[in-house]
Every structure is written in C-alpha cells, then in structure tokens.
Amino acid sequence: MIEMTLSEVADAVNGRLVLGSAASAADGAETVVLGESQTDSREVRPGEIFFARRGEETDGHLFAARAVDAGAALVVAEHEVDDRVPQILVSETTEALGALATEVVRRVRDRGALTIVGITGSNGKTTTKNLVAAMAERLGPTVASAKSFNNEVGGPLTMLRVEHRTRTLVAEMGASAPGEIARLARMAPPHIGVVLSVGLAHAGEFGGIETTFRTKSEMVRDLPDDAVAVLNRDDPRVAQMADLTAARVLWFGVHPEAEVRASDIDSDAEGTRFTLHAGGHEARVRFRVLGEHHVMNALAAAAIGLELGLPIADVVEALEAATLAAPGRMQVLGGRDGITVVNDAYNASPDSMSAALRTLAQIRRPEGRSVAVLGAMSELGEYSIEEHIRVGLQAVRLRISELVVVGAEARHLHISAINEGSWDGESVFFETQDEAYAYLLRTLRPLDTVLVKSSNAAGLQGLGDRLGEAYA
C-alpha cells in the first residue's frame, strides 16, 4: 500500500482514530502506515493493517488480539478491541475496506501512471487474469488478484496492494448478486473492461440468465468514452453489451469480425495450437494450457496485452510460456502406465463442465478409455437438476467410456447417463470420495485418460490430487 498517515486512513474510511497505549505524543495521528491489509488474522505480518470483519461464520473482532500479536500496526474495527495499537472505529468494516481501497487507487491513478484492467465473466476470469498479469509484468510492476480474490473483500484487498510505482492493476471482478461488479468498478475504475462470457454459473444466486447478463454488463455500462471494452464476439449475450457502453469496443473470438481472433485450432493432450490474428499480423501459437475452451481466454488476454502496448511477438511469447490455467484447473497429473489425470475440480458451471468433457473426448488415447469423475455443480438454484441431467446426456453423446459420479448432489447426472439406452459405456455412483478413489484404483487401466471435475464445494480437487499422486 502507499504511505498514509493514521489520520489520512481514518478520513478515507470515515472512522474515528483511537490511539493505542503504545502511541507516543510525537507520532500520534501522523504515524505512517504502508503495510498490506488483511482480514484473516493468520495472514497478518508486522506493519500490516487488520480489518476486523464480521463474516458469515465468525467475527474478526474475536481475533484482533492475535493480529496484534502477529505485528499488526493498525486495527480497523466496529468497536474497540485492543489498545496496544492504534484503532480506527467504523460503522461497518467491509465498507471501510472498500473505502480505503477506493482512496488508494484514486491517489495512484491521479498520478497518471496506473492502468486498470477489470475482468469479469461466468467462466475464465482467473485464467485470463493470470495470463494478463504475465503480460503486464513485461511492462512494469503489476498487481493482480491472488487466487480468486474477486468479491467485496478480495477485490479491495488486491487494490490495496497498489503502490505509486505500480504500472498495471489486473483485477478480477466477480459477483454473487447484482450491483457487486459495479461497486468494484467504482473502487477501481477500469481503463480496460473485459467481459468473457455470460453463462449459468451462479444462476441460482442471480435468479436467471437475464439477471446474470445485466450483472456482468455492469463492467462496461459506466466505462467512459476513452476506455476500452474488450468483449467476446462469439458469445451472443456479451456481444449485446456493445450497445450498452460508451467505450471503444475491441472484439475477440473466432468470429470473422473479431479484431483479435483465432483460426486453425487444434487440440490434444499437450495443449492447443492456433493461429492468432491481430492488427494485420498473424502468428502460430502453441498454447500449453489444456482445453480448447481456454483459447477464448488466451484471445482475451492477447487483446488486453496488445491494448497495453505489447508487440504481438511478446504476447505470443507470454501465451506460450503459460503451462497451467491455475492449480486445480485442467491440471495434468499422473503418467505412470500411460494414465493421465486431468484435475479440473477447482470449480464448475454447466459451460465449463461441457467444455471439460469435450476436452476429455478430444485428448483420450485411441488405445485407452476416457473416464470422467464428476461431482456436483453448485449455485445453480432451480436450474440444478436440469443442468446435471444435461451434463449426463452430453457425456453419453460424447461417448465417454465411463462416468464415476461422486456425491448425492450429483446423482441426477448419474441417473441421466444410465437412462440413455444408446450408450455402450457405463456410469457408477458413490456417496464418498474414498469409495470412488478405491474403485478407480481397482479399475483404471493403462493408457486411460481421467477427468476429475466438480465445483469447489463438492471437494473433488483433493480426489484429483490423490489420483495424480497414485499414478505419478
């Protein structure tokens, strides 16, 4: 974070400064803080700011003393908690976190050297963010969202890492309800606003695809005319957003109208190769991130990289240097006896589940089987049964050799598959991961290709890791 005095922080968050018992008269309100901000006391390091936030399961105020013991220089809280360090008392801690992020970004942005990239979409945010961050690093110091820090807490924590020397801020901006992307975009107004896709991820929370569309379009609705909206030309709902923004539109996709597009796409177990077309240039790209669907993320990242000022050769080099979308996302493990395990269980939506199954069908060895180990897709609300049934039917139609369905919430997927009479494969169901793991150890054959896919809440990422270790 940039240097700010205690009084400046208090003003930014509209709070009341209470100097701790250790504060000297010589320092007081003019003491400077510049450490990162944390909402988890276990993450606090000396000199950092701890926001005592009330969460769904616990209350950060209960852990303020632990944060001070770890070296916190300042605590932002809703009531006094520990007088060993200065405290700033606010009416609501999460709002204060966002207010401080807004002020820090404003100060850095006003100096004119910071470019802000905001990325949203139903799928692909983290992969695209990682690719863009790698490109932006070539131009200067870059701050990017850690993990999937993209909500009302993770977003501000990322923004507060910005310093005066930061050249690019790459921020995921996610949402579980309307208005959240707009709120994040007000904290860090993007110069480049990106919408990757509009799908059924979180449809249960949003209340339907049209609400999802309106929520994702918050990324571009308030962009000024000197900003850039990077939009997926292949997604018809995203394409509609061109009419909702004053910003210049930069299209990406395989559509012939896309200014940054791909052709001659070819996928296998080693990744995907495609020809990148942009600005009158073309280049062959060997993209080692597994899954043809990740080409769209690569195109979005290429469009952003070019917009940031990178030459196409550097964009290609950055894409070819990437080997993993993110841990738990199309992560290739195993190898013993020719058994390949693809762990893609960090998250799942109907679109990403469909894409992962298509990838499995594409990359299976002719001599081996394709085995899909599938768990539940979360946050689908009223669409849950319908979408799990649809995934089961798709697995059959792609002629996946075997389905291993894990967990009661995914049972409809299993039932859908076994009810499809034209299928010559099979589907088995297990309540627990341990049962599925034991079954797979008994039945996997040399040269099999195994996909492990579920939402994070279903917890199959650990099963994928265990299989990868077993067949390392």
**Structure tokens given for 369:** 């089987």
Crossing angle of the two packed helices 180-187 and 209-216, in degrees rounded to 10: 10
In one-letter notation, the amino acid at residue 330 is M
Helix axes 461-470, 433-443, angle to 10 degrees: 30
197 is in an annotated binding site: no
Whether residue 122 is annotated as binding a ligand: the answer is yes
Closest residue by Cα to residue 32 from 93, 73, 82: 73
Cα gap 404→346, rounded to integer Å: 17
| 147 among annotated binding-site residues | no
What is the rounded distance in angstroms from the CA atom of residue 357 to the CA atom of residue 452?
10
Where do we find the tokens 């995914």?
410
Cα separation of 356 and 350, whole Å?
10
Distance, CA of 261 to CA of 88 (rounded, Å): 50
Find tokens 């005592």 and name the residue. Answer: 52
Asked whether residue 449 is marked as a ligand-binding residue, the answer is no
Pairing verdict, β 426-430 and 402-406? parallel
Q: If DSSP codes are grouped into helix, strand and coil, which group holds residue 17?
A: strand
The answer to whether 124 is annotated as binding is yes
d(CA 57, CA 321): 40
Which three-class secondary structure state does DSSP give residue 138?
A: coil
Check: CB of residue 195 under 8 Å from CB of residue 174.
no
155-172 burial, b if ≥16 CB within 10 A, otherwise e? bbbbbbbbeeebebbbbb
User: Residue 38: beta bridge partners?
Assistant: 50
Task: Enter the tokens of residue 70.
Answer: 């770890």
How far is C-alpha 210 from the geometric centre of its chain's CA atoms? 22
Q: What residues contact 454, with CB distance under 8 A and at least 6 apart?
A: 345, 348, 374, 375, 376, 377, 406, 407, 410, 460, 461
Give the residue numbers of the binding site: 121-127
Give the residue numbers of the binding site for ATP: 121-127
